[in-house]
Amino acid sequence: MSVKTLPDAPGVGGPHDRRRPGNRLGALRRAPHTGLTAVLVVVVVATALRTDAFATDTNVINILRQVSVTAVIAAGLTLLMTAGGMDFSMGSNVSVTTALGAQLLSHGHSTLFTVVASILLATVIGLVNGLVVTFTNVAPFVVTLATATLLDGVALLVLDSVSVSIGTRMFSLGNDKILGIPYLLVLAVLVLVATALVMRFTVFGRDAYAIGGNEHVARLSGINVTARKLTLYAVTGALSGLAGLMLLSRLGSSSPGTGGLSLQLTAVAAVVIGGTSLAGGHGTVIGTVLGVVLLGVVANALNLLQVSSNYQQVSVGGVLLVAAIANEVHKARVARH
């Protein structure tokens, strides 16, 4: 029996925020994610001062569209990790979905059919992860690391190792705008808002916190933990599918290596930088959004500032480190007050 004993540190953005009246500045300093926000602001201001190309409408829209796919994955991951789960195979699920979507479209199937089939497959993949995690007691990270490898292979099989182009099918989703806002961004925002609402205002979402906080207690309190977990894994699967279709529409093709581990790691980095706990029980969509945007802004800034490609990874790593520390130091200060 492994009983999880979390530290008592009141989680940032957790279900409780003790606000005291008065002292606005202090309240601000105690608001969640101040550290992360500060890092983001510094990066934005520093970049804007050094290049005019940064703070333009088109560039901002650009950044937001670029992070849309990651944001959808990160949203699912936030929910799942809050419930103490982990899906390391979402990136590979994206690979499979883009591959399948591309094949279906290029074989002349209708867009509707393709969308439904792809998301269905992705959901089933998520569900299978959930079944293994729930019924075998293997740690979710381990299970999904294995399925990630497996799915990478499946994606190759579906593509038969070549690139498959979808021509101009789904072009509008990946490239057009509505009221000046790219469809992809609209989708990502919808997903994020929905996730935030679910986590905060539904019993399903609160159950996720409870399961992540102490699974035994959750089960004893009458929560159908098994069903909840299966649903959570299925939802992350479905969101991977959606992200896959978004990516496909943006790229116009699927090729070996689309999605996969690099996408997965970006999403994981965004989520954990945003303060979602690897051990479960704590997590906020706001934090994840900040994490996703920070990563997008940094990549964009490094390009615009012409940082040499050798220095880019160093810079990204450095910013990640600083952001993680800032978020944590801030949390600690809040706890001390």
Partner 1 sequence: GNDDNASTAGASSGAVTLGFVNGADTAFHTCLQKAVEQTAKSEGAKVYTANSHQNSGTELSNIEDMISRKVSALIVQTVNVDALAGDIAKAKASGIPIYLTSVVPTDSADILGAAVVDLRKVGSLDADWIGTDAAGRDVKIGVVAGAPGAASDLLVDGFTKELPAGAKVVANQPGMFNPVKAQEVAENMIQAHPDLDYAFVANEEMAFAVRKAFDAAGAEDVKIVTVNGTDEGLAAVKEGRFSATVANSAMVIGETAVKSTVSLLAKPKVDKIANIPLLLVTKGNLTKAPQYCPTS
Partner 2 sequence: MTPSIPTPPGDGAGTPHDAVLRVRGVTKSFGGAAALTNVDLDLYPGEVHALMGMNGAGKSTLVQILSGVHQADGGTLEVGGHVQHGLTVRRARRLGIASVPQRRELAMGLTVAENVMLGDLPTRHGAVRWRTLKSEARHALSGLGIDIDVERTAGSLTVAEQTMVEVAREVRRGGRILMLDEPTACLSAGAAQQIRDLVRTLRDEGVAVVYISHYIDEVMAVADRLTVLRDGAVVRSAPVAELDPASLVRSMVGRDVVSRRSERPAPKDEIGLAVRGLRDGRAVRDLDVEVRKGEIVAVLGPAGDAQSRLFDLLSGRRRPDTGELLVDGAPVPFGRVRASLAGGLRCVTGDRRALGLVPGMSLDENLMLAGDRFARRRLHRRTELARRAQPLRRSYGVVSLAGNPPVSALSGGNQQKVLLAKWLQTEPVACFLEDPTNGVDIAAMADIHTLVDDLASRGVAVLLASSSAEEVMRLADRVIVVSAGRTVAEHDITAITRDELVATALGGQPQ
Ligand X SMILES: Nc1ncnc2c1ncn2[C@@H]1O[C@H](COP(=O)(O)OP(=O)(O)OP(=O)(O)O)[C@@H](O)[C@H]1O
Positions touching ligand X (CB under 6 A) are: 8-10
Residue 24 vs 336, nearer CB to ligand X:
336
Whose Cβ is closer to ligand X: residue 275's or residue 296's? Answer: 275
Cα 82 to Cα 62: distance, rounded to the nearest angstrom: 30
Task: Tell whether residue 282 is a contact of partner 2 (CB under 8 A).
Answer: yes
Q: Which of 119, 121, 143, 218 binds partner 2 (CB under 8 A)?
A: 218
Q: Which pairs count as long-range contacts for 160-164, CB under 8 Å and 24+ apart, including other chains?
A: 161/256, 162/255, 162/256, 163/253, 163/254, 163/255, 163/256, 164/99, 164/102, 164/103, 164/106, 164/253, 164/254, 164/255
90 closest CA partner among 106, 64, 69, 63: 69
Toward ligand X, which CB reaches closer, 213 or 259?
A: 213
The correct pick among 94, 320, 330, 334 for binding a second copy (CB under 8 A) is 320
Site for partner 1 in 284-323 (CB under 8 A): 299-300, 303-304, 306, 308-310, 312
Q: What is the full DSSP assignment across 155-169?
A: HHHHHTTS-EE-TTT
Closest distance to partner 1 from the beta carbon of 248 (Å): 10
Q: How far is CA 192 from the centre of its chain?
A: 9
Between CA 88 and CA 322, with CA 299 as vertex, the angle to 5 degrees is: 75
Q: Which residues contact 290 (CB under 8 A, 6 or more apart)?
A: 33, 36, 37, 40, 273, 274
Say if CB 90 and CB 71 are below 8 A apart: no
Q: Out of ligand X, partner 2, a second copy, none, which partner does residue 223 contact, by CB within 5 to 8 A per kind?
A: partner 2
274 binds partner 2 (CB under 8 A): no
Give the pairing of strands 181-182 and 253-254: unpaired
Strand partners, 182: 177
**Given candidates 93, 147, 236, 249, which one binds a second copy under the rule CB under 8 A?**
147
Segment 11-50, which members bind a second copy (CB under 8 A)?
none
Q: Which of 156, 175, 204, 328 is the binder for partner 2 (CB under 8 A)?
A: 204
Tell the smallest beta-carbon distance from residue 321 to a second copy (Å). 4
Alpha-carbon distance of 75 to 196, in angstroms, equals 8
List contacts with partner 2 (CB under 8 A): 1-3, 5-6, 8-11, 14-16, 18, 20, 200-206, 209-210, 212-214, 216-224, 281-282, 335-337
List contacts with partner 1 (CB under 8 A): 51, 53, 56, 58-59, 62, 65-66, 69, 156, 160-165, 167-168, 171, 174-175, 247, 250-259, 262-263, 299-300, 303-304, 306, 308-310, 312
